[in-house]
Amino acid sequence: MKLLNKNLIFVTAYAPVIIWAVAIFVVSGQQVIPGFSLQTTDFLFKKAGHMTAYAIMYLLLFRAQRITRPQDTSYRVWLLPLIFTVLYAVSDELHQSFVSGRHGTLRDVGFDSLGAAIAFLKLYKYL
């Protein structure tokens, strides 16, 4: 029974992370609309979207860590979600390099990582 409760806690903690990761994967697999121009406003909204998506990814992973390891107060609870989020950003850009009409960029990894880092810093400041 105790194992069942532990598994249920794990699943409910990480299900939002997995759902969010799948959502990012699906959206990044969409082709770009032909003839779509990159205007400054469009660029800013897209980069804000990158930062927001990966800030949410960090927060979901942090939440999952706190639920599954409530007694752990070490730096790992803070840094492991950040490391995983950055690695997921890298893997997402690699994924985009295989999608027709898309390409992965280090710049986007930077914006993704910046979003995660901002979430990390804000959360660390308030908790």
Contact 120, 77 (CB under 8 A): no
The tokens describing 56, both together, are 């949410």
Measured CA to CA, the distance from residue 36 to residue 125 in angstroms comes to 40
Give the pTM.
0.85
Instruction: Map tokens 């069942």 to a residue.
Output: 4
CA distance 41 to 46: 9
Going by pLDDT thresholds of 50, 70 and 90, the confidence category of residue 5 is confident
Are 92 and 30 in contact by the 8 Å Cβ rule? The answer is: no
pLDDT single digits (tens) 12-70: 999 999 999 999 998 888 776 555 555 777 788 889 999 999 999 999 999 999 999 99
Q: How many helices (H) does the chain have, and how many strands (E)?
A: 4, 0
